[in-house]
């Protein structure tokens, strides 16, 4: 399995697949040898988790490698097809390729006729409107907004805060008022879960790795769940999965017949 992109999504997916093949599949499929599974994480830049400060990217890389993940940096993918991927000077055969390198910005330059940066993000004003149009806004991955001399990253935190800001601007316009406060992004930090009982947290006041970072990650995800029922359900499911080490895995081949599937279920109980 090849994952293209070493950001938080790629790192979390690689760690999940490593746990899945070594904890889940070994219980459900006695003829599969987990040690033969190859998981390769490719990153075009010099390190994974680009937005995290040192030494967190190095610690995450070491943990993934200890779980059997082949982490390769400075590897730019040039081609993806049904048989695998091509990187500069090498081809990797793989039936499963997962794209975790983000999305391409739509061609807004021609559509909106506005200035864009090198990758096509629209250069917005302080209120996130486009130049010359105070009622047209661009947010999230498609917006180029500088703060402290650096462009804001294309992450969910930025998009959510920009959405709230634009909502205030539009509400003021509808009420005949002016909300002229420029947008300011408050960085709450970055977190990524790398594997079982291991995460990295790059917070404004501290950098953490390991179990404590994992507990913080779990707490934040429970708190931000949208209702109490879901929070309770998530907590109990996590506790059960953690202590029982059970991860349900089911694979159905295209050649399996209903009789074969029923017979296999009897064999495995």
Three-state SS for 53-120 is CCCHHHHHHHHHHHCCEEEECCCCEEEEECCEEEECCEEEECCCEEECCCCCCCCHHHHHCCCECCCC
Asked if residue 198 is part of any domain, the answer here is yes
Q: Which of 12, 58, 79, 90 is catalytic?
A: 12
Rounded alpha-carbon distances, angstroms, from residue 251 to 21, 194, 244: 12, 24, 21
pLDDT digits (tens, 9 = 90+) for 26-78: 776 777 777 788 999 999 999 999 889 999 999 999 999 999 999 999 999 99
* Tally of CB atoms within 10 A around 230: 11
- Domain of residue 215, CATH code: 3.50.50.100
Query: Could you give the angle at which helices 228-244 and 211-223 cross, rounded to 10 degrees?
Result: 150
pLDDT, position 229: 78
- Whole-angstrom distance, CA of residue 231 vs CA of residue 127: 35
Both tokens of 18, joined, read 């490593």
For residue 23, the 8-state DSSP code is: I
pLDDT of residue 185: 94
Residue with tokens 């990758």: 119
As for how many domains the chain has, the answer is 2
From first to last of its 269 residues, what are the pLDDT tens digits of the chain?
Answer: 999 999 999 999 999 999 888 776 777 677 777 778 899 999 999 999 988 999 999 999 999 999 999 999 999 999 999 999 999 879 999 989 999 987 777 777 777 888 888 888 899 999 999 988 888 999 998 999 999 888 898 888 899 999 999 999 999 999 999 888 999 999 888 899 898 889 999 998 899 999 999 888 888 878 877 777 787 887 777 777 766 666 555 555 555 544 444 444 445 44
Same domain, 143 and 196: no
Closest Cα partner for 72 from 93, 101, 43, 96? 43
Cα–Cα distance, 224 to 226 (Å, whole number)? 6
Query: What is the span of the domain harbouring residue 132?
Result: 108-174
266 inside domain? no
CATH at residue 159: 3.50.50.60
DSSP secondary structure letter of residue 269:
-
Q: Mark whether 152 and 21 lie in a shared domain.
A: no
- Cα gap 205→262, rounded to integer Å: 55
Query: What's the confidence (pLDDT) of residue 71?
Result: 97
Structural domain contains residue 82: yes
pLDDT of residue 261: 45
Please choose, from the candidates 99, 41, 30, 103, the residue with its C-alpha nearest in 3D space to the C-alpha of residue 67.
41
**How many C-beta neighbours within 10 Å does residue 179 have?**
15
Q: What is each CA distance from 220 to 20, 209, 215, in whole angstroms?
A: 23, 15, 9
Consecutive H or E run containing 199 = strand 198-202
Residues 76 and 120 grouped into a single domain: no
Q: What is the H or E stretch that residue 194 is in?
A: strand 190-195
Residue 79 falls in the annotated catalytic set = no
Whether 265 is covered by a domain: the verdict is no
Q: What is the pTM of this model?
A: 0.77
* Phi, psi of 75, deg, nearest 5: -120, 100
> Are residues 66 and 146 part of one domain?
no
């Amino acid at each position: 399995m090849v994952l293209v992109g070493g950001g938080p999504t790629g790192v979390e997916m690689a760690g999940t697949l490593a746990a899945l093949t070594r904890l889940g599949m070994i219980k459900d499929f006695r003829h599969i040898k987990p040690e033969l599974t190859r998981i390769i994480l490719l990153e075009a830049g010099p390190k994974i988790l680009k937005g995290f400060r040192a030494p967190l990217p190095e610690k995450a890389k070491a943990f993934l490698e200890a779980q059997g993940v082949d982490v390769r940096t400075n590897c730019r993918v040039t081609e993806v097809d049904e048989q695998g991927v091509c990187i500069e000077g090498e081809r990797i055969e793989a039936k499963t390729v997962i794209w975790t390198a983000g999305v391409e910005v739509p061609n807004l330059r021609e559509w909106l006729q506005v200035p864009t940066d090198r990758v096509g993000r629209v250069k917005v004003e302080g209120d996130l409107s486009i130049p010359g149009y105070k009622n047209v806004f661009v947010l999230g991955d498609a917006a180029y907004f500088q703060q402290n001399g650096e462009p804001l990253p294309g992450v969910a935190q930025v998009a959510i805060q920009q959405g709230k800001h634009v909502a205030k601007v539009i509400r003021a316009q509808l009420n005949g008022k002016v909300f002229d406060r420029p947008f300011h992004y408050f960085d709450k930090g970055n977190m990524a879960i790398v594997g079982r009982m291991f995460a990295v947290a790059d917070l404004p006041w501290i950098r953490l790795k390991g179990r404590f970072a994992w507990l913080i990650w779990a707490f934040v995800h429970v708190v931000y769940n949208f209702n109490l029922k879901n929070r309770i359900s998530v907590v109990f499911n996590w506790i059960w999965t953690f202590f029982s080490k059970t991860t349900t895995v089911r694979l159905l081949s295209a050649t399996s017949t209903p009789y074969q599937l029923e017979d296999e279920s009897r064999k495995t109980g």
